[in-house]
Amino acid sequence: MGGQASECKIIDSFELRIADIGSVDIEQLHALSMSVGWPLRAEDLQFLREFGRGYAALDEIGRVTGSAMWFPHGEDFATIGMVITSPRLQANGTGQWLMQHVLSDCRGRDLRLNATRASRRLYDSLGFQPVKTVYQCQGIVRLLDEIVIAPEGAILRQLRPADLPAAAELDAHAFGVARNVLIGKIFAQSVGYGLFRDGELAAFSLCRRFGRGHVVGPVVAADDGEAIAVVRPHVAQHEGSFLRLDTHCTGGAFAGFLPRVGMPVFDTVLTMSLRREGVEAKAAATAGAVTYGLASQTLG
């Protein structure tokens, strides 16, 4: 990326230059995300920079006016996120310019992203195809009074460091590609719960500080009962506080559980893919493991 960092582009009356996103001030990235209403902390952005790669657009006096990032998972797949354009430059080509650099870096990879309504036209123009809706569920959570029965034959307990390899493997089955580095980074800063059968991890959830409070994800389980079992301890732990979970689920017991504990649907985004056949097919063909909760909208 270093050879492209000196490239410049005229956007209306602005002359912008492109830079490696790792070289810009984190507080400026935070201000950019806040300008479009994304409630990310500076710490959340730093986490993304440590895992991903990308670009920032800078104006003549060095202000960050746009960003775009990609996050590699192995050699053949990546997720795209943090595609932001300053409100004063939206619809003027800055997003397209940054995305072209990202797509150049990702040539040959299957790609997936989550598109807001405002960005849908940009991704349509780049050839991304819609896959499914993500429901952003959030709110001040409360513990239900109902009696909870663990799935038959299963033991629920808090995850330990030694459970990381099993969690990464289960996530790979559900997601369709191994995300060992990402899961390792999230695991290290999360509280997790796992459902075990005969000593083997059958379902898990991770919860970490994020945005306005905490986010639960990823959540991987074989069915709604397992997903509820591994998410409920986080609701209990954060009762009276803000909790968020992003999911593709539209019906069934799990989708009904979230608003009952204080996490109704707040917003939606659209999962879109480019050259998606490989990863999507692997996830669809895997029996048992389902991604009930995303790691985040940016990371999938």
195 belongs to a structural domain = yes
Residues 288 and 194 in one domain: yes
Q: Is residue 197 part of a domain?
A: yes
**Residue 187 within any structural domain of the chain:** yes
Residue 115 covered by a domain? no
Residue 113, in any domain of the structure? no
Question: Which pLDDT does position 62 carry in this prediction?
Answer: 86
Q: Is the pLDDT of residue 92 over 90?
A: no
My answer on whether 161 and 287 are in the same domain is yes
Same domain, 54 and 143: no
List the domain range (segments joined by +) for residue 217.
136-293
State whether 97 and 146 are in the same domain: no
Tell whether 101 and 147 lie within a shared domain: no
Decide if 117 is inside a domain: no
Does residue 68 sit in the same domain as residue 142?
A: no
pLDDT reported for residue 282 = 53
pLDDT score of 200: 95
Q: Is 182 a member of any domain? A: yes
Q: CATH number, domain at 95?
A: 3.40.630.30
100 and 140 both lie in a single domain: no
Which carries the bigger pLDDT value, residue 258 or residue 118? 258
For residue 288, the model assigns a pLDDT of: 76
pLDDT value at position 259?
A: 97
Q: Are residues 288 and 143 in the same domain?
A: yes
pLDDT at residue 12, rounded to an integer = 55
Give pLDDT tens digits for 200-223.
999 999 999 999 999 999 999 999
| Arithmetic mean of pLDDT, 185-199 | 96
Averaged pLDDT score across all residues of the chain: 89
pLDDT at 149 > cutoff 90: no
pLDDT digits 0-9 by tens, 106-117: 999 999 999 999
The reported pLDDT for the residue numbered 5 is 52
Same domain, 79 and 177: no
Give the per-residue pLDDT at 286. 54
The reported pLDDT for the residue numbered 189 is 96
pLDDT attached to residue 2: 41
Q: What is the pLDDT of residue 60?
A: 85
pLDDT of 94 strictly over 70: yes
121 inside domain: no
- How many domains, in total, are found in the chain? 2
Instruction: Give Rg (Cα) of the chain.
Output: 20
Of the pLDDT bands very low, low, confident and very high (cuts 50, 70, 90), residue 237 is very high
pLDDT tens column, 4-60: 455 766 555 567 899 999 999 999 999 999 998 888 999 999 999 999 999 999 988
